[in-house]
């Protein structure tokens, strides 16, 4: 039997998604808890392997098991066993052909950047921060230049293990919500550190350190060394993964309400 779970988490205390020896990871916590609920070793697969400190409001994982448990055991039982920074929201039985990663059509990330002189006191681990006023219109114009199918070598980390650096960005929006700037990017898939490197480069443009045209120059160069430094993981959220409706999975739902809370920083 194959089951899919929706999870959300605050990634501040974790060394990212992927299981590693002797450190706390999202995958490690979920597999530990599921194995206890199932009474057998469980391995999970996900769409969107988030980095250290990155959060998620909508991440889908799947796993196979030979045991039958009520939904309450997989949800409430698992929540009782794992870190309080992770929450399992629902479980669905899915076809054996479903794969959380390979069945995904696209992923969406949002980056919340507090743009004011004073550093954040509340939500310090849940928003990025830049102290000088940023030009949102300049960042919007720069963002438009990298939408589409491109080689994103200039925006991936040296540790990226992807065989192919070509990705398709379907949407890259920048908007101001009070003192918070929200970056939203949707793509068929992402490279390691790709979103944080894009945000860092847009911030350089918004701060007037580089012109709008610099974004396209970096993209064409395919040279990571020419782009801005990788931005902080604090404000980055995996917010949506799209699947074909025939899999019967509920959508992401109410992140907009959560975002309203995180963006209530008006002076």
Catalytic residues: 51
Number of alpha helices (DSSP H) and beta strands (DSSP E) in the chain: 7, 10
For 199, the token pair is 């945000």
Neighbours of 228 (CB within 10 A): 21
- DSSP string for residues in 19-42: --TTS--HHHHHHHHHHHHHTS--
Q: Is residue 240 within 8 Å of 254, Cβ to Cβ?
A: no
CA angle 78, 101, 95 (to 5 degrees): 70
Cross-strand partners of 8: 87
Nearest to 67 by CA among 97, 106, 92, 40: 40
């Amino acid at each position: 039997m194959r089951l899919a779970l929706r999870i959300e988490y605050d990634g501040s205390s974790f060394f990212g998604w992927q299981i590693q020896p002797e450190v706390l990871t999202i995958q490690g916590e979920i597999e530990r808890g599921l194995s206890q609920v199932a009474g057998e070793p469980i391995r999970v697969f996900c769409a969107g392997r988030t980095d250290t400190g990155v959060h998620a409001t909508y991440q889908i994982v799947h796993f196979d098991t030979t045991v039958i448990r009520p939904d309450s055991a997989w949800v409430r039982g698992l929540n009782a066993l794992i870190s309080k920074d992770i929450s399992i929201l629902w479980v669905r039985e899915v076809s054996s052909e479903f794969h959380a990663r390979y069945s995904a059509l696209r992923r969406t990330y949002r980056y919340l950047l507090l743009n004011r002189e004073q550093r954040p006191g509340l939500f310090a681990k849940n928003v990025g921060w830049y102290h000088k006023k940023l030009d949102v219109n300049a960042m919007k114009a720069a963002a438009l230049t990298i939408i589409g199918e491109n080689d994103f070598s200039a925006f991936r980390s040296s540790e990226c293990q992807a065989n192919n650096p070509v990705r398709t960005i379907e949407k890259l929006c920048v908007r101001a919500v009070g003192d918070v700037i929200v970056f939203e990017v949707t793509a068929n898939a992402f490279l390691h550190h790709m979103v944080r490197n894009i945000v860092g480069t847009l911030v350089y443009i918004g701060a007037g350190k580089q012109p709008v045209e610099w974004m396209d120059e970096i993209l064409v160069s395919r040279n990571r060394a020419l782009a801005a430094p990788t931005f902080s993981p604090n404000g980055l959220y995996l917010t949506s993964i799209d699947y074909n409706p025939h899999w019967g999975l509920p959508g992401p739902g109410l992140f907009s309400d959560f975002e309203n809370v995180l963006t209530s920083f008006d002076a």
